[in-house]
Amino acid sequence: MHPAEHTPATAPRAYAPSPHQARVLAFVEQGTGHAVVEATAGSGKTTTLVQVARLLPEHEPACFLAFNRATAAELRARLPPHVEATTIHALGRATLLRGLAGARGVTPDEGKYRALALALLRERAAGLGEAAALAGHLARLAGFARLELTDARDPSAVQAVAERYGLESPVTAALTPALHGLLPALLERGTAAARAGRVDFTDMVYLPVALRLAPPRFGFVCVDEAQDLSPLTLAFVLRLVEGGARAVFVGDPRQAIYAFAGADRRSLARVAAATGASVLPLSVSFRCPTRHVALARRFSPAMEPAPGAALGSVRLAPLGRLPRLARPGDLVMCRVNGPLVELCLRLTAAGTPARVLGADLAGPVVALARRLFAGRLPPDAEAVVARHAEAEARSLEQRLLTSAALGEALRRSREAHQALALLLAKLGAGRPRRLDDLERLARTLLVDDPEADAAPTPGVVLSTIHKAKGREAERVFLLFPEELAPRPDGGAPAAAALAEPPLDEEAEANVLFVALTRAKRELVLVERHPGAVAARVAAHRAQRTRPGAAHERERLPARWSEVLGLAALMARSPEPRLAVGRRRAAPPRPRSDRRR
């Protein structure tokens, strides 16, 4: 963030934009056309947007579109009264309510398409199999097809969507075209149901686009986190542009990490192509210290530290020390959920308040507990969970033996069972335990709370890297860095048990960039065991000497190994002499602290 964002209210300071920020403001005030602002991590983006809003004439309606409700609320509190702050889905819902009379007053029904698919299958596809088993697949396919604006009548396009999102067909290859052939009818029924007041979350944007409903008119629109636009949300925003709005799209292609959820990580390039937008950089980070920028530049070469930025700290620590090191206000990140629950419980047992971010974990754990137990928990509840975990793993392997989705399904099952077992242990044995006590504990420790790290006495926040995007902390712990970006030859042995298979190297590189840019002061790389990072770096160096290995240097495993090597050097040298590229002159430092 820009320093002005941390200024106490009791001592207001005049806003002094950086050169990059000044160019954005000048473009808005004096230029014409649209803009794409490529804002790196901690570049003072929010401050810049607020200043942009203050330049807009009061007589002209303007709208700032945020990625989620929490960000919209934060913007709303800081923007001038004549500038609206909302989300794309909220604006889509307003468009739907205004343009589709039957939809007035509705709330999203997330089970809508499964129920419609179930009825459709029973009517038209009795020969395909058990309708209840097929309805979930067809509903998920309808969700991604809407996000992608897929032509449901094109079988090859529908199959491509199913493959891109790992939707394993529940029927044979011979029957899959017949199952997918029901998608056009399902979407038609979805539209008809919306006219009767029944919509789901995606419908709030899909229907205004599909039915070409007129959105509200604005003279100026600003789209935040534009790197995470899906084809659907981009189409909706472009409708605002077609209506006469001048638009500024703000985002960072290096932080596009939600492709698995429908986002198009090339959306900024598509925006520039569709609108002829000027591209303006915000490449100076006011959050990240110099050492962290040096690491992150392996993935974002244009990133720069702020003039006079602190050096910052990089440390290595073994996993066993983490419960003693972590303090309230710290952020602990991992590539996946699994290890976070156990760490959370260890911290709370030691008297350190902590919570895991992620409703995507709390929901499955509570659902699993309800399936296994009713009312009072049996004395052998832990054994029940262990037996069910083994049985479910065997069932998944039988059903998905030849499927690419097997690894992900096993990981999710393992995480839910492990979390449930840990929560049972937290409740304690030898005393009556009830299901509602377990559910309360799960929803207390496993939450998706945007304000969890902003409470007056914050605890330790534990999060996946994906959930940590948009967050920052003075000190950040990154778990098991030696297992990230594993080599195809298995160079990081435990990685298969830890990480999801990456969609591709570009997507995974963006995840690593996000991980490196959350800390404002100190980054602690937490090894599974002492020396694990050194072993990863040594293996990489040995690989470089092989004949023909030169072409692998730009592959992600090699780049990450180089980052870890540099991080290890920083950890051994409290005042390293590092070159991080061009930057404005900083105040003189002691000789031992100067960088070449």
At residue 127, does pLDDT exceed 90?
A: no
Statement: residue 20 has pLDDT above 60:
yes
Cα gap 485→504, rounded to integer Å:
11
pLDDT band at 510 (very low <50, low <70, confident <90, very high): very high
**Considering only 124-128, 151-155, 547-551, which range has the smallest mean pLDDT?**
547-551
Which position has the higher pLDDT, 462 or 543?
Answer: 462
Task: Answer whether residue 576 shows pLDDT above 50.
Answer: no
How many angstroms separate the Cα of 317 from the Cα of each of 255, 344, 479, 481, 568? 26, 18, 10, 11, 11
Q: What is the pLDDT of residues 40-76, one digit of tens each?
A: 999 999 999 999 999 999 999 999 999 888 889 989 9
Number of Cα atoms under 13 Å in the Cβ half of residue 432: 4
Q: Cβ atoms within 10 A of the Cβ of 144, count? A: 19
- Give pLDDT, residue 429: 64
507-537 burial, b at 16+ Cβ within 10 Å, e below that, comes to: bbbbbbbbbbbbbbbbbbbbbbeeebbeebb
What does the alpha-carbon distance between residue 491 and residue 559 come to, in Å, rounded to a whole number? 14
pLDDT in tens, 445-456: 776 554 444 444
Q: Specify which residues 247 forms β-bridges with.
A: 221
* Full DSSP string of 303-358: -EEPTT----EEEEEEGGGHHHH--TT-EEEESSSHHHHHHHHHHHHTT--EEEE-
Reply yes or no on whether the pLDDT at 413 is more than 70. yes
pLDDT score for 104:
67
Q: 84 or 576: which carries more pLDDT confidence? A: 84
- What's the average model confidence in pLDDT over 130-135? 87
Q: Averaging pLDDT over each range in 44-48, 129-133, 259-263, 283-287, which range is the top one? A: 283-287
pLDDT category, 16, cuts 50, 70, 90? confident
Mean pLDDT computed over 17-46: 95
**Average pLDDT over every residue of 157-181:** 92
pLDDT exceeds cutoff 70 at 12: no
Contacts of 1 (CB under 8 A, 6+ apart): 42, 44, 46, 47, 286, 287, 472
CB 307 within 8 A of CB 583: yes
**Per-residue pLDDT at 397 exceeds 90:** no
The predicted structure's pLDDT at residue 325 = 95
Looking only at the bridges linking them, the beta strands covering 62-66 and 35-39 are unpaired
Q: What is the pLDDT of residues 351-394, one digit of tens each?
A: 888 888 865 667 788 889 888 988 778 888 899 999 999 999 99
Q: What angle do helix axes 131-148 and 203-210 make, rounded to 10 degrees?
A: 60
Choice among 243-252, 420-429, 525-534 with the minimum mean pLDDT: 420-429
Residue 250, pLDDT > 70, answer yes
More confident residue, 544 or 113: 113
Q: What is the pTM of this model?
A: 0.83
198, two tokens: 């029944």
Cα dihedral sign, 115-120-121-123: positive
For residues 215 and 197, give the distance between their C-alpha atoms in angstroms, rounded to a whole number.
Answer: 19
Query: Residue 265 — very low, low, confident or very high, per pLDDT cuts 50/70/90?
Result: confident
